[in-house]
Each structure stands twice: as structure tokens, then as C-alpha cells.
């Protein structure tokens, strides 16, 4: 268990706990943390192990380790239950938390993510990205992701913001995360047991975790509601913050 660097804004209940995407850090959610602060909702945004200000912690060996870190953070902050918001890799972590620490969950927002494990092609892509991270740096990993994660007409400021976040990450942390994602188990069979209010968001132009994956989540999780952001890519919280925040605040209301 590691002591994650984090932002902790506000107090009271419900609490929203964020799990960021790869290869990003908690700053990816700054617009969501701001929106929750304005709405007087308690927000906790950590840097997962190996990323951001948690870069020097011992590397996590698995997605489950990241979920355990989040629960340890809730324990340290005296928070019993949280609405967990995870985008992409953060969604894998949120699903692990839902599966292994269900009593700590009061709501779930799964954005641009999926329940399935890596197939052989995805594992090969991980190996290529591990080489890129080691030899060319994290920016090369991000640039290779771009055609799958951002539409050709993506806002330049959004692309530069995401590129800047990626460039700030430690290659060793990124390699550890690629290995953890490559080895994560299939979470599909546990979806039906999720019993908290759940929202699923996907960008219609997300080719990394496309609509079909979001539909699997929304169909399998009882009562889950799906929102498709037309024209958005993979990083919906950065690309389309107003619509993302509307879904998040609606979920928070449902969890009161």
C-alpha cells in the first residue's frame, strides 16, 4: 500500500474519488474538481502510483494494487464510501475497487473504459509501448495513441494539454502501468453484482474504448445510464467538461 499524493477539496457527503487515465495524472480532472467545489461536493483526486506526484512511490504490480491504494487513501482520510469516477485505466481501477471493495462504493462513473481483458493484439501493442516508453519517452507513447484517442478535428488546446500531462510522466511508472493493464483480469462477470447508481460516458469518436464497450458496461450493470458525447474522443473529461460534469453532478445527486 502506498501513500498517494492527492488533492482533497471540500468536506461532507457524498465524496467523489477520481481515478485518472494513462499516461496522465490527477490534473486531468481539474475541471471536475472545480465543478464539485462550486457545488460544495467533497472531491479527492489522487495521482496513482508511478504518476504525477506519486511517481517516486514503489511501482504498483497490478490494477488491483491501484484499487487497494485508493481504499487505503479513503481509510487515511476517514471516508467510508465514495462515488468513484474512473476514466479508461482509471475505469479498470474503479472496476477492481467495485469487485473487491464493494462496501466502499456509493456510486460509479465509468468513462471511456471497458470490462474486458487485453486480447493478443492489445498485449502486443503494450509490448510496443513499453519499448517506446523506455527508449523514446512517454511523449512517444502518447503520440502513438493519438489516432485512437482523439478525433482529427480535436481542439488544439486540448491536445496540447493532454500532451503536456503525458510529457510530465515518469517512463518507469508508465512501463509499470502498461504491464499492469496488460495483465488485468476480465471484469465482465462481476458487472451484474454492482448495486450502486452508475453512469457510463463515452465519446462517439473514441476508438480506444469504443461505444460497443460502453454498451456492454451499461447493459450489464443494473440500472446504469449511458451518455454518448457525439464527436468526442477518449478523454471526455478534458474534451467536453460541461457535459461530463452534468453527468457527474446528476450521479452525485442520485447518491445523496
Of residues 55-114, those binding ligand MLT (CB under 6 A): 88-89
Q: What is the 3-state secondary structure (H, E, C) of the chain?
A: CCCCCEEEECCCCCEEEEECCCCCCHHHHHHHHHHHHHCCCEEEEECCCCCHHHCCCCCCCCHHHHHHHHHHHHHHHCCCCEEEEEECHHHHHHHHHHHHCHHHEEEEEEECCCCCCCCHHHHHHHHHHHHHHHHCCHHHHHHHHHHHHCCCCCCHHHHHHHHHHHHCCCHHHHHHHHHHHHCCCCCHHHHHHCCCCEEEEEECCCCCCCHHHHHHHHHHCCCCEEEEECCCCCCHHHHCHHHHHHHHHHHHHHCC
Q: Report in angstroms how near the CB of residue 142 gets to ligand MLT at its nearest.
A: 10
The 127-166 site mask, x for binding ligand MLT (CB under 6 A), equals ----------------------------------------
Nearest CB to ligand MLT, comparing residues 81 and 234? 234
Nearest CB to ligand MLT, comparing residues 101 and 207? 207
Q: Report in angstroms how near the CB of residue 252 gets to ligand MLT at its nearest.
A: 23
Nearest CB to ligand MLT, comparing residues 88 and 227? 88
Extract the C-alpha cell encoding 164.
503536456
The 7-46 site mask, x for binding ligand MLT (CB under 6 A), equals --------------xx------------------------
Of residues 219-238, those binding ligand MLT (CB under 6 A): 234
Q: Report in angstroms how near the CB of residue 39 gets to ligand MLT at its nearest.
A: 26
Extract the C-alpha cell encoding 111.
468513462
Extract the C-alpha cell encoding 236.
471526455
Nearest CB to ligand MLT, comparing residues 14 and 233? 233
Q: Report in angstroms how near the CB of residue 77 gets to ligand MLT at its nearest.
A: 24
Q: Report in angstroms how near the CB of residue 22 gets to ligand MLT at its nearest.
A: 3
Nearest CB to ligand MLT, comparing residues 122 and 192? 122
CB within 8 A of 41, min separation 6: which ones?
Answer: 10, 12, 14, 15, 16, 249, 252
Q: Report in angstroms how near the CB of residue 12 gets to ligand MLT at its nearest.
A: 30
Residue 181 in contact with ligand MLT, rule: CB under 6 A: yes
On whether the CB atoms of residues 130 and 179 are closer than 8 A, the answer is: yes
Of residues 186-215, those binding ligand MLT (CB under 6 A): 208
Number of residues forming the site for ligand MLT (CB under 6 A): 7
Find where cell 499524493 sits.
5
Q: Report in angstroms how near the CB of residue 75 gets to ligand MLT at its nearest.
A: 25
Which residues bind to ligand MLT, rule: CB under 6 A? 21-22, 88-89, 181, 208, 234
Amino acid at each position: 500500500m502506498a501513500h498517494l499524493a492527492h488533492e482533497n477539496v471540500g468536506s461532507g457527503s457524498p465524496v467523489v474519488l477520481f481515478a485518472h487515465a494513462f499516461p496522465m495524472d490527477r490534473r486531468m480532472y481539474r475541471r471536475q474538481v472545480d465543478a464539485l467545489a462550486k457545488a460544495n461536493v467533497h472531491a479527492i483526486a489522487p495521482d496513482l502510483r508511478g504518476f504525477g506526484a506519486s511517481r517516486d512511490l514503489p511501482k504498483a504490480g497490478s490494477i488491483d494494487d491501484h484499487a487497494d491504494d485508493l481504499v487505503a487513501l479513503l481509510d487515511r482520510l476517514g471516508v467510508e464510501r465514495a462515488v468513484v469516477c474512473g476514466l479508461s485505466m482509471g475505469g479498470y481501477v474503479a472496476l477492481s475497487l467495485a469487485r473487491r471493495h464493494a462496501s466502499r462504493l456509493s456510486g460509479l462513473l465509468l468513462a471511456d473504459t471497458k470490462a474486458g481483458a487485453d486480447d493478443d493484439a492489445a498485449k502486443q501493442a503494450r509490448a510496443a509501448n513499453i519499448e517506446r516508453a523506455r527508449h523514446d519517452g512517454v511523449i512517444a507513447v502518447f503520440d502513438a495513441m493519438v489516432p485512437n484517442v482523439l478525433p482529427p478535428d480535436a481542439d488544439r488546446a486540448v491536445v496540447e494539454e493532454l500532451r503536456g500531462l503525458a510529457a510530465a510522466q515518469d517512463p518507469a511508472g508508465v512501463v509499470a502501468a502498461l504491464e499492469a493493464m496488460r495483465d488485468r483480469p476480465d471484469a465482465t462477470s462481476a458487472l451484474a453484482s454492482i448495486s450502486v447508481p452508475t453512469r457510463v460516458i463515452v465519446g462517439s469518436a473514441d476508438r480506444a474504448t469504443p461505444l460497443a464497450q460502453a454498451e456492454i458496461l451499461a447493459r450489464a450493470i443494473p440500472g446504469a445510464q449511458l451518455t454518448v458525447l457525439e464527436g468526442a474522443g477518449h478523454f471526455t473529461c478534458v474534451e467536453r467538461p460541461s457535459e461530463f460534469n452534468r453527468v457527474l453532478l446528476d450521479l452525485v445527486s442520485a447518491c445523496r
